[in-house]
Structure 1
Amino acid sequence: MKKKTLVPFIVFLLGICLISFIVYKTNAHEEEQKHTTAQLNATTYGERIKNEITNGMEITDVLKQILISEDGELNQFDTVAKNIMSDSIESIQLAPNGVVTDIYPAEGNEAGKIDLLHNKDRQEISCYARDNHTLITQCPFELKQGGYGLAVRNPVYLKDDNGQEYFWGFTIVILRVPDIFSDSISALSDFGYEYKLSKTVAPWDNTYEVVYQSDGSIIHPVSYDFTIGEENWKFEVMPEGGWQNTAFIALTSGFFASIVLLLSGLTRVWLVSKENKNKFQILAHIDSLTNIYNRYGFNELAEKMISENPKAHFIAAFLDIDDFKLINDIYGHAYGDKALKSLADSMKAFFPSDALLGRNGGDEFCILLQNNACEAAAKQLQQFTRIPKTFSCNGQEHPFYISLGYAEYPDFASNCLQLMRCADAALYEVKLHGKNGCMAYKEGLQSRVRKQLGFALKDISEHLPGAFIIYKADKKEDELFYANHEFLHMTGYKDMEELFRLTKRSFRNLIREDERQQIEASIWEQIDNGNENDYIHFHLRKADGSYLSVLDHGRIVENQQYGRVFYVMFMDWKDMHIHYSDKFSYNDKFSKRTAGNITN
């Protein structure tokens, strides 16, 4: 009861902490997104504002080029000015020797005719422009017509008869602010941003003055800096509602608070379900009798360990109890279980903690040793095989013995499944040689391995009326499992060991090379189309390298141990023509699955 009260309380406290963290992270993420978007807008529209101001300034360059080309004369100033005038320009001016003499339009701008080099408000910056050959701007200042202006003064230099450069004066344009960049600030306002445009007071001064800004306050804005001439500009942007979304924070907090309360109320159910889930997971992976991995759990972990360390060496061992059936028959199944448990306990006590131990089923057990080779593991496995093993019955200890076979990865196998088969083959060899022993896998044992294909294979296959093989049904990695005596006799292979060696255990190596691709494609095409009872005609490789024209009849069968396997019967094509040519035409009957016009 205490746990059921304490845990919900802990869940509630952790939930509150989690809510705070989530809200903080969510708000930080949203704020970061807002900063990113705002920075993108500041850069985009800041660059546009720069281009719009620069385009306005280019009018002074036009006038400057005319003056240079006309040796300082501009006879039709009003006409030229009128042609280059725009709505965002207040006036266009000429100032020979720094004195404004010509203004377009003249009406309303008479007060603009001043001596720039001696005017107290304009003298310093105008002299700087003259002496440093640089365009300068000065703003903001109120226009008599209303609004604010931005003055652009571009110094002009000509050459005298001696080729000496001299200061002619200024070409000037007065730009209306914010008309010159109204499109950009209108777009930002529509997007919900506050903004501020500033520039340095003078090229030699790092102090910024505001050129134009929106009505709202600017707090921790993002900015885009750019340069016009020798003056630095700054365009600052921030969302109208600020960086934080208060409504979103409140909504998120309320939502997660509801979840925390719900989780606290359901904690008891969660604890029960968690307990049951753990039990089911244990049942799914652990053998309940021996408390080591069952076949499913062992295979899953073994495949994972090997796949994650493909270059490491592993030893897989299969072992079982000799004459285990006698223990069950004499002492009963309860004492058979005791023997199984005793064997599992001895495995746990003997092998290192990183060894993978499992019960494969019945009295069969399996072991996977990491970073081990056969030579190093041989002594250890032999020692474990010789250790006395007993189970208790009626106060007495009764001995029992085991047989063990083992194999090494990657020397004898390229994957976990092949490694286990090799270990099983070694175990079977121990059984054939009197049991109670320990043996490593070696080449050739595979041919005598017990094939668990669901029936007494030797008894049936050797009496089948025809040649017969079994191989793995895999488009990329087929593997020969078995061939009966009739097949070996027909193809001239001395035994299965020779068959496996010459074909590298692959069915496709039995097909004549020039037919191989076509025959394999035909087989799988017909299987994929659901045709399970048709025939294939091809040339089968014999032991001496010659080829025999055969007809095969195959079927895919699902096998518990090996997955999908092919059962295939073979018939000599020539013999069938000789014996059955009078009864019916094979060309008609088998043309459906004959792969091309293959001749004998």
Structure 2
Amino acid sequence: MKKKTIVPLTVFLVGICLLGLFTYNINSQIQNNQRTLALMNAKTYGQQIEDDLENGVGITNSLEQVLINSDGQIHDFSKIAKYMMTSSIHSVQLAPNGVVSEIYPDKGNEAGKIDLLNDSNRSEISNYAKKYHTTIIQGPFELKQGGSGIAVRNPVYLEDENGQEYFWGFTIVVIRVPKVFEDSTNALSKFRYTYRLSKQESPWNKKYKEVYASTDKMIQPESYDFIVGQEKWKLEVMPKDGWNHTKEVSLVLVCGMIIVLLLTILTKVLLLLDERRIELKELAHKDGLTKLYNRYGFDELADKMISKNPQAHYVAAMLDVDDFKIVNDMYGHAYGDRALISLAKSMQEFFPTTALLGRNGGDEFCILLPNEYKELLIEFTKLPKTFTYHGQIYSFCISLGYAEYPDNASERSQLMRCADAALYEVKLHGKNGCMAYKEGFQYGVRKQLGFVLNDISENLPGAFMIYKADKSDDEIFYANKEFLDMAGYENLDALFKGTNKSFRNLIREDQQELVETSIWHQIESGSSDDYIHYSLRKADGTYILVLDQGRIVESEHFGRVFYVLFMDCQAMQEHYGTKFDEKDA
């Protein structure tokens, strides 16, 4: 996979892992904070409930003191009990010898006058309190008047005249549930807590019994334990919404996911920008057609290559395609480009990876390689080079000149000029060869050759054409500017389009067969030249009388072709007095 895919994917996966870990820590922290707060509330309101229950126990203790101080007699019980009553007290009772005989308020509580030590529902716990001299709390139980209550029974022991302790009975308070601790439970509800208050069923039974609760379901609640009398109590609390804060965690996840996605996208964009930067840098240094280094890139890297190891020996070579203009003119620039691409590919495949390869422009290429590989230059020059045109393979040749560093030059630019001078010595000696630079080669040769190659064709004082010497396929390959002007065509493409690239279509229709017969008769009679005059059709449909002088030659690239010069008969008559009769054409 590409870097631009792997790195963003890694960022995404790492981001998801970190987000999961962060969310887990956040959730854990929230739960820890919740539990700490829940425990504080359980303790606070548990202590408040403990105080409320102790108030009930305190009433029984107060009655006990009254009994002790009055030798086991309480006068005006109703008055004393009335003073002790609060909204959470259901009744105050006295049970001498364990039998309830006094109840305040008496009305409605008559059924409460029972023998506690022998009653089936109360005897066991009452006898336990008597035996162990301990206050016990029993309940909750249903009250006859409605609601629930718990009974606080305090065993009272007095001394007889002999100082012997004896069991007097019980002082009792029945407390309304949950009235006694409604302030605490209301506060818990207000703070959005669910709760459950439980107590041991009895001092000898460790199992807890629910006294009052806001819900039946508690999940890992926080609790506060306390003791009233000889029994353990427990207040459990938990948030109404539970310990898992889904909304908060979901918000963290959504925000975190957005951040992870943004980071992933940002990473992708940065990698694409970096890739684009590299591409632009490469474009600045590479030739778009051949993918070799361009002139700028080659020069920069060649300087670095030499300066990195200036004591080493290098060879610089310049090469170009022989007669490349003809390739372009005959086959078109698209196929000329194919020839250049083929040449560049063969260079990359032939030379070692230590070689620096470049294209100066046009059909000119350059090479810089370690000196020990210079023998490869001759071998590469001889290597067959081809390109395809309409399914057929065509060959082309190159010329190559090279110079050595530091023997021929002490710096890169001078070295390349020496190689360039060697290249054009090859051109002057017939092309298709390889030559090393020698003292005395002239740098100005390029100008002379440039004049020969460009100006002869374009400025020849006569109209000139090349076409295929084939009776059934007389394809036009090239025409110079003088001919285009004579025939009235704007450029070579316009000529190709107007004639369908056929020489025959330049001849007036009624003369075509006669002209072609005459041309081939002259050639087949053993002559390499032919002479004929006829009416040449111009681009606008008019005709001009011309003298056609052609020569048939064998071309290395195209087989048999006609090289033809055209002369305007009217112009010749004006200048030389030679008269041509169109009827004779």
TM range (shorter): 0.3 to 0.5
Query: TM-score, normalised to structure 1's length?
Result: 0.45
Q: Taking structure 2 as the reference length, what is the TM-score of the superposition? A: 0.46
Larger radius of gyration: 2
